[in-house]
Every structure is written in structure tokens, then in C-alpha cells.
Amino acid sequence: MNNNYNIKVKKWNFIALILCGIEIVLSIIDLPGSLNPDKTFYQKLGNDGMEIFNQLNSMSIKIFAVLNLLIVIAFFVLFFNANKSLKSKKNIKKYPYFLNLVWTVIVVLFTILTTSDLGSITDDSSTKLGMLLFTVFFILLLKIPIIMVLINIFKLDIGEDNE
């Protein structure tokens, strides 16, 4: 029975590792646009476009983009090390997965706080809310592997001080 959960932990950890790697690639691709948004694109949208540009060009957005990339790289390293430990039949720690969920909550809160005014072009609050809810739902959906790793670790009853 424990071997079955160990296989599940390996599988879900590997999926989390792959998703984390994809997130790193997408963050690197998006980083130039986050650090230096194209003003001409937003000028074409008029005053509302310039408001969006000013919000996207703020220092807090730039700092968060870099910080997010660094933290996602750290999670990738932690998940990779866990993957190596699992292949060696060693126990793994729970804290990287809990920290990943905490970071996800921070990302969701930051997204909600910084995108609340981005839909002013349409003046349709239901559209803004729908897009925001879809974004939050999609972010949380991608955390299913993290949750599954934790569930299966708890089923294995791996202690935090085990190496």
C-alpha cells in the first residue's frame, strides 16, 4: 500500500516539476514585456490604454515579475531535488509544497489587486469579473499536482525531520 502512495507522490511531483519548468519558460518569455511594456500599443487604445500602460509600467509590477521568476526557479530546484530523493527511495519534505501554495495565494491576491482596473476599456464589470475569476481558477487548477503530492505524502506519513 505504501509503495502505491510512493508511486503517486513520484508521479504528481514529476507533473509539478514539468508545470514549474513551463512556468519558468513562460516567465522568461514574458519578462521583457513586463520590464518594458510597449507604449505605442497602449497609446493606440487612447486614455484607457495609457492608464493600463502606466499600471503595467509601475515599479511594483516589474519587481513582482522578477521576484516571481526567481521564486519559481527556486521551486523548480526544490521539486527537482524531491524528484531525485524519490528516485532514491528517500523521504521528502512537505514545506516546498506548502510554500508553493502560499506563494500561489500571494500571486492570486497580487493579480486581483493589480488587475482590478485593467478592464476599464469595456466598462463592463461582469466581463472584468469573469476574466479575473477565470484567471484565478486557471492558476488554482495548475496547483492540483502540488495538492496531490501533499495528500500522498500525508498518506505515507513522512515526517518533516526525515532526510
pTM: 0.81
Give the separation between CA 81 and CA 88, rounded to whole angstroms. Answer: 11
φ/ψ (deg, to 5) at 160: -65, -30
Whether 72 has a pLDDT exceeding 50, the answer reads yes
Instruction: Considering only the C-alpha atoms of the chain, give the largest distance between any 2 of them, rounded to a whole number of Å.
Output: 62
Mean pLDDT of the chain: 85
Ramachandran region, residue 90 (left: φ > 0; alpha: ψ -120 to 50; beta: rest):
beta
Q: What is the pLDDT of residues 13-35, one digit of tens each?
A: 999 999 999 999 999 999 998 89
Whether 81 has a pLDDT exceeding 90, the answer reads yes
DSSP structure string for 123-156: T-HHHHHHHHHHHHHHHHHTTHHHHHHHHHHHHH
Instruction: Work out the pLDDT band at 117, boundaries 50, 70, 90.
Output: low
